[in-house]
Structures are given as C-alpha cells and as structure tokens.
Structure 1
Amino acid sequence: MNRWRPRSLATQAIALQILVIAVIVLAGSALALLDARRDGDAAAREQVLGIATALADSPSTAAAIESGRATAVLQPVTEAVRRQTDIAFITIMAPDRTRFTHTDPEQIGAKYIGTVEPALRGETFSETYTGTLGPSIRAVAPVRDDAGRIVGLVSAGILQTSLADRWRSQVPVIVTVTVAALAISLAGVWLIRRRLLRQTHGLRPDELRVMYEHHDAILHSVSEGLLVLDRSGVALVNDEARRLLALPPGPVDRADLPDFLRSADPGVRDEVHVTADRVLVVNRSQVATAVPDSEVVTIRDRTELQGALGELNSLKVLTDTLRSQAHEAANKLHTVVTMVEMGRQEEAVRFATDELELTQRLVDRLSAAVGEPALVALLLGKTAQADERGIELTVTEDTRLPSDSDRVPLTGSEMVTVLGNLIDNAMDACDRDDPWVEVTVQMVDGTLILRVADSGPGMDLDTFARATQRGYSTKSDPDHHGLGLALVAQVVTRHHGTLTTDVTYGSVVTVTVPEAS
C-alpha cells in the first residue's frame, strides 16, 4: 500500500483534485440527465395544455359538437394537429366521456379513460395517466358554447415513452461534454502538478513542515534584522527587524518601512543609516529566485558601538588636547627657565603668571557659566584643539546653563554628542583664510539653545536635510560616513526639538530643545 501512496505534496494534491473533479463531473452529468428529463416533462405538459386549450377555445369545435357531426368534422382536424405537433393523441369527447375523435379510429364512440371532473367544473388541468395507448402526460380543457355551457371536453397527451426517447437522445451530447470536461480537467491538473513540483522541489508534506519549522526557528532566533522584499512589498520580516525598525505587528507594507528601504537598491554593503533612536548598518542582496525583484535585507544595530566610538573619540580629543597642552607647557617652562638663567627672574615670574591667569580665566568662566562638567571638559578640549589647528574658537559671553541639571532637557552625554559633532563640523567647514568658530549654550524661557557658527559657506536646505536624515557627508573620504549631523538630529528628534541652519553673520546651526514637561 505504501508503494502506491503519493509521496510528494504535488502528487498528493493532484490525486485529490482528480478524485474531486471526477466526482463533480460525474455528479454534474447525472444531474444534467435528470434535469433534461424534468425539463422534457415540463415542456410536454406546457405543450399539451396549449394544444388542448387552443382546440377547446376554437368556436368551430363547439359548433361541430352541437351540430351532431363532431366526428366527421373534428377527426381530420385533430389528426392534422397531432401529426404537426408530434404528440400521441388528441381526443374530443362529450361531457359523458363518449369519444368523438381518437388516434385509433376504433376507439371512437368508446368511453374516455382518465380524469375529467375538474374540466366538467370548468377547469383546465394536466395529469399523468395510463390510458389505452399507455402512460402519458395529458391535459383536459372544457369546450363551451356561446352561452357558456360546457358541451364537450378536449384531451391532448404525449406518451412517456416518447418523452424518454427525447431525453435519451441528449445522452450522447452529455457524455461527450463529460468526457471533454474530464480530459480538459486532467490536462489542467497535470500542468498544475508540474508547477507544484517545481515550486515545492518534489518535497513531501512532512519535509515541507520540517523545513518550515526550521526556517521559522531561524528567523526568530537570528540576532540580525532580516527582511525579504519583493515587487508586491514585504514578503518576510523577523522579530529583530521589527524591533530595530519599530514596525507594527502583523503584515508589513512598504509604507511602514523607513525611507531608505522603500525603494529597491540591491548590492548595498555596510551602509549606515540613522533612525530616530538607532544607528543601523544595512546590507541588501539580490535573490536569484523565480520571484522577480526580490532582495534580502539584513540590519545590524550599531547604536551602542556608535556610542562607544563617540566616547573613544572624546578620549582621543582629550588625549590630543593633553598632548598639545603638554607640548605648549614644555615650551613655556623652557622659556621661564631660560629667563631665570639670564637673571631676569621678575620677568619670568610675570610671564608664567600671565599664562596661568589666561588659562585659568577660561576654565573659571566656563565652570561658572556651565554647570555640566562633561560639557566644560568638551569646550576646553575643543578650544585647545582649535588653537592647535589655527582656528579661533570662541565661547560667547551669553553661554550659561543653570546649575540645576534637572531643568536642562538634555543629559551631559547628549549635549556632548550634539555640541561635539556641531563643533567638529564647523571646524572642518570654516573658511581657511579666516578660520573662526563661535559656540553659544544657554537656556531661554525653559528652552535649551545650542548654537554653533563658523566662517564657512554653509549648506543649502536640501543638503542640510539629507545630512540630517542619513549618513551623508560632503567629505571626499570614502571611509567617512558623515554621521555627525544625523546623530545630532537623532538626539533632537528624540526630545522633540528642532535643528535649523541659516547663513547670517556666518554659517549658523541652531538646536532648540524644549524643557521636558
């Protein structure tokens, strides 16, 4: 038994379809035969009713009966009508059932066999009855004279054997249609079987089930976001992709995806994109399948790594600043020592005191104006870094933050991210003939304002918008991903703030963040 049992899903499906089609076609053929017989009986009943009514309503019929010459006058007429309509008999009789006409002339004058009572009451009716010629479908109608009295009856009938011959003549047509339908259906299911075999690779249902379970387990357990896109939209998305892209539960449309995934772009490798709260690395590959325009998208979360890189960059800036200050301190100490050796002690003391006061004054001003230590360290480090690069970096006198950190809507690390990236961009973009950068940090009416201006030409609105939406960079370095403004925009969006640019006294980028309610 197992040897003849269908193994592949395609074969099992087609075997079931063949069985269903055979049952449907055969049942349909049987119903068609029954319907043909029923329609034949209904048509015969309508036909004999029409003939009986027409003859009964004819004035010549009543006149012939009243004249006493009914047989001589009506027998030729009824036989002519019978032959033309191909029915079994037409009998005209007296109210007492005495036949005036009959198909068999020997039956004329005998009593009519059948029901006549409804006709004697003035009704026209039909019935199935077995008479002298055999079982028939017959109709009986009353014949009235001019005064409305019933003077006779007309009966017309068709033998059931004739009706059987009629519907049996349709059997060859029905059989031909049945065979043709079976042949076409079998050809169709054979083509479907071939298609299913290609699509299922001839696998059995249990093999498909195991494959699906393994496939589903992998999708749910893999640590990377995974999407499969095709021409119709999103064919597949795993749990990690939903989390990273903040997708809704249930089916996903292309409209639910972020902008960088809505259009087909296979071949992308390690492309960095910044969403409202994440830094993502995206890879896209074309799928060599029968489904056109399909691609697999993998997504890795680089948010924590980017934060670590930011901290590392801050440490690098601090290291470079300390190195620069150590080098500068060594030069100044060498100058002081030389002046002492030259016997100019007072001038050496004055020189060292002036340099110390200049540095300490900046530290004291920033420490007093800005209560966040991380931000003070950033501004001091960027000042030293700018001085080393020959750029005049100024922290304006308007810079002031409340000592109560709870009133500031951004944390210290977030302000370092925003200001650090804005200052780096400004130092890279400032005019080399007149390099300057100006920084302002202040709270105005509960709103945090971070403003960085530089002597550069600035960016137009379209370029600025692209730079804030994804890893866009104006630098020619292929290894530079241009995440600065995108990371700034990420922090600003998270706190429902605004990020704007304009060119007034220089290229000015302004961040405003309202106080958290």
Structure 2
Amino acid sequence: MKTGKNARVMLLSQKLMLGSVILVFLTIGFTIVMVLRLNLKLQSHRIETTLHDLGEMVAANPLVIQAFKEDQSSEELILYLDNLIKGLRDVDVITLADMRLRRLYHVNRSRIGENFVGGDEERVLRGERYFSRAVGSLGDQKRYFVPVLDAETQKEIGFIVVASLMTNIASQRWEIYEAHFGALLSILAIGLLAAWLTARGIKKSLLGYEPEQLSKFFLERDEVLNSLEEGIVAVNAAGYITLVNKAAGTMLHIAPGDLRVRLLDDIYPQIRIGETLASGEPLYNNGIILGDVNILCNRIPIRENGTLLGAVAILRNRTELTRMAEELTGVNHMIDALRSNSHEFMNKMQVILGLLRIGEPEEAERYITGIAREQSDVIAAVLQKIQNKNLGALLLGKMSHCRELDIEFNLVGSSSVPAVSRFLAGNAFVTLVGNLVENAIEAVNAKAKGEGDREVSLLVHEDERSLMVTVDDTGEGMTPEEIEHVRQGGYSSKGRHRGTGMRLIRSVLESSGGEMQIDSEKGVGTSITVCFTREGKL
C-alpha cells in the first residue's frame, strides 16, 4: 500500500475479502491438509488391507493348492483370478510361483511359465508373509507375499504375490488431491461471495459509506452538534438516551456522559419524550420548566422506511430567545422612531432655511416658536401619560411617522403607563405596542387618500391589577376568516409586516400570559385589545 498523500485506502469489501482469503487459508487450508494426510494414510491402509486379505484368501483356495500340486493352473483357476483382478481397483497383479520361482499364473498369460521377477522373494521362500516394493515385469509395484502350504504335509509348495502398481496408487492419490483442493477452492469462492455479500449488507446499513467515512462524519457531527446553542437529546425507540450535545448538558446541569444509557423520562419527565414515541407525532414550541430554566422544546420522531427508530428533543433557552427577540425588535422600532423624527426635523429645517433665504426672519421666528410650542405640548402630553421612556420615545416616533403619511394619531387621554411595568419587560412592551401600532398604520395607509378617515388611536393603561393596550384603526377591516388567520400568527393581506408582527405579538402574549381580542368589520376598521391580568383573563 502507498503512503503519503497518494495512499490508497482499502474499501470495506476489499478488507473483508482479503480477510476471508487469509481466514480460509489459515483455517480451512490447515484442516484440509490434515484431512488430506489422513485420507492418504487411509488409502495406503486400504490398499495394504486389500492386498493382505486377497493374498490370504487366494492362498487358501483349493484350486490354487491343486495347481501347485499339478504344477499348472487350470482354466477355471485362471478365469477366477482374472475376474478378481478386474473387480478390484486396488489389485493390478496376482502371481502364483512355485519354489523354483516358475510362474503358474500371471495377469499377462504370455508370462506364465517364466521366472518370477523382482528380487524380493527370498523371505517368502522361508515361509514369511510381508509387504514389499519392487519393480516387476509390469513396473514398480507394492506387493504382498503369501506362502502356500500343502494341506497334508504343511510344507511350502509355492507362494502368491498380490500387487498394486505404483502408477495406480499415484493416480488414486491425485484424485484425493484434486478432491481436497477442489473443496478448498469451493470454500474459498463461497467465503469470498459471503464476504462480498456481508460487505454489501454492512455498507447498505451504513447508508453507502465506508467505515472510515462514517467515523469522519461522526466526529464532524459531534463538532457541529456541540457548537450549536440549542440543546439536542436523542433517544432510541425504548426511550433510552443515545446522544446529548454540550448545550443540552449545560441546560440540564448534567454532564453529557452521565445521561447515556438512561431513560430520558426518568431524568426529565417534563420533556415527555415518551408521548412522542407513543404517538409518533411531532410537537413544536412546547414551553417547559427544567429546574430554574425556561425551555422551549421541540419533540420530533425519527423514522426509517415507516419504522419508528426513536425521537429527538431540541431544547432552546426560552428566556434567552425572548431577550434577544425583544432587544432586536425593540431596537428596530426605536430606529424607526429616530428616522421619522429625523425626517420631520429635516423638513422643518428646510422650511426655516427657505424663510431666511427669502428675507422673512420674523416669519421664521414665528414658525420656530410655533414648532417648539407644538413639540413641547406633544412631548409633555406623551411623557405625562407614558412614563416608560422607551415606550414614550417609540410613540413620539410613531406620531412623526403618521404625520408623514397624513394619518391622524391619537393617544387616548386615559392612557397611563408607569416607568417600570409590572407585567412586561421594557423591550417586550416596545415590541407589543410597536407592532400593534405599525400594523394599524399599514392598514390605514393601504387605503387611498380621500376614501374616508385616516386615524389610528392608542389606549395604553396599566394599574396594579392589569395592563391593557387597545389599538383602533380606520383601515379596510378583516373578514372572520382573516381574523382567525391573523390570530394564529399567519400573514395578512394587509401588508408584508402585518403577519410577522402578529407572530411577535403572539410570542409576547404566550411568554407573559396575556390574551388578545380582535374586533373587525370589513370596510370600517379594526380594534385589537391586548390584556395582561393577575388572573390571566380578559
């Protein structure tokens, strides 16, 4: 294998196939070698047994004893011995020879009467039985010698040799080799096929990735999950925790390693992950309290091919999200207020500059005095009723914005807000009132000038028992279907921000326990009242 940048990584299938080859050669190969040795020994033993048993049987045959007595073999004996050789694979040669070594029978009839060949017959002439290997008239042979005795005198009258040619023995051995090596190759082929199928199955279960790729993805996934601000807790189908990222451990005040192999419902039943596993339905933006942390929780089931594998809970610090959202939306409204004031200020400065250029300083002075008195009256009226500085600045900006759009803005006289609200944080207050007023302005501005009154009225009143905000506009109004759509936080046909603003308003209501009532009539206008009470009811 290459090294360095050009190193080639072995695929899973290649590793399994290589492992299978090595395993086959180390285990099956060793087994086949041992079995081969055993079969070769069994073959040798079988041949020796056949030669021994046949030699003893022939030596005791009366026809054989008669042939030695008559000094010649009968035709019946010759046919009998020929059939024995033909019927036995392990026997190639049977020879009958007298004590003078003259053949009385040979498988090759032309050699009957000739002398015995081999030079290994001395021991049989002394009456011994034994195996021997020698080269006879037909070639190299494995022989078994048996002396033939006269039944009456018990004297040796000749001997018998039963032999198997070494070429025959070698041929049988090659058949054994071929069978065993064929089995080895077959097992190897089966092993490679099994390895390929196993690798294919494993790769399928790994979604087509190699183990090295999956390991890399796993490490990358951990890095990504641990970099998220949202807490993520995954469980299997039985509800046991399988994954916890760093943010979840921080929110739950438990080290991620301590949460593994435990039931999530046993540790934090408030998350209610068991309900998602039972129903198989997701649940979004569910508010829960974990210890001293206000959490916004999403519960999502995990499925594969319709089978529920588990579920994941996504946890977000609701307090932090609310703070960020309120800060962002509050700043946006304050920027709008500053922009409107700046725009109105520039317009008035241009009027003053114009009066000075045409030589009317007295008129410019009267204009400045009037503006100062008007602004002082407006600011004084607002700040007298609205002691919350952020909200007061917002309303002054909205008034300037309405003057730009030729819309009459009325702050109802009974309005009263303390410096610090008992019901809403400052940014939440700005978000709520800012979006209600902005929606009303957009609704009125959507009407063409001259089609009727262009008015927006605001009542903001807070006492010890409740906080009420009412915004009335003379826009085109809404149908009951549109009211329900807006109430659910959807987009309205009244403008691109109206639906977005309603979602922010709904978020403030949910987080602070307020309620909203919408009254609207098509062609007349809309009145929206939001109320926060100690009892949480309008």
Q: Which has the higher contact order (CA 8 A, sep 6+)?
A: 1
| TM-score, normalisation: structure 1 | 0.46
| TM-score, normalisation: structure 2 | 0.45
Structure having the higher Rg: 2
